Amino acid sequence: VPVASIAEDLLALRVRVAPGLPVSGMLVPAERLVLVDGAEPSDRRRFTLAHEVAHWVLHCASPASAPPVLCRQVHAGGGRDVREREANVFAADLLMPEDAVRGAAAAGNTDPLALAPVFAVSEAAMRWRLYNLGLMPAARDGP
């Protein structure tokens, strides 16, 4: 899933990789700007970008007046904040489409280590997606 293209070409957001950003990801609605931490591995950055895209789509009804959104430790699990959880669910749906994951499972592939590179996500994100779709009995590391 070309998440950078979705953010930039479809949604007209500007995406910048910022080394040393103090958070995993940041959305500045008034500037249509997404910053992702350049220190994180590329599969994590992809999930972070999808997560910030989710905030834009789901939570920015009036971007001009919306405050910046700061996101820490963005991955498949999710925290207590309902908007953070919604953004993680949206990001997982976007990067690991249910039909494609179920298709892989039907072909006998439910190994998160093998599937993670197929979807260009982290093993932890893949593991949670398989678990949440009922394709794996248990998740090893929780949120």
For Zn ion, the binding residues (CB under 5 A) are 71, 84, 87
Q: Which is nearer to Zn ion, 15 or 136 (CB)?
A: 15
Q: Which is nearer to Zn ion, 34 or 126 (CB)?
A: 34
Q: Which is nearer to Zn ion, 40 or 115 (CB)?
A: 40
Q: For the stretch 10-35, what's the b/e string if a residue is b when 16 or more beta carbons lie within 10 angstroms of its beta carbon?
A: eeebebeeeeebebbbbbbbeebebb
Spatial distance between the Cα atoms of 127 and 116, rounded to a whole number of angstroms:
8
* Smallest gap from residue 83 Cβ to Zn ion (A): 7
Which amino acid does the sequence have at 56? W
Q: Report which residue's Cβ sits closest to Zn ion.
A: 71
* Smallest gap from residue 108 Cβ to Zn ion (A): 35
* Smallest gap from residue 71 Cβ to Zn ion (A): 3
Q: Which is nearer to Zn ion, 3 or 87 (CB)?
A: 87
Length of the chain equals 143
Strand partners, 13: none
Q: Which residue's entry shows tokens 């953010």?
A: 7
User: Residue 102 is encoded by which pair of tokens?
Assistant: 């179920």
* Smallest gap from residue 77 Cβ to Zn ion (A): 12
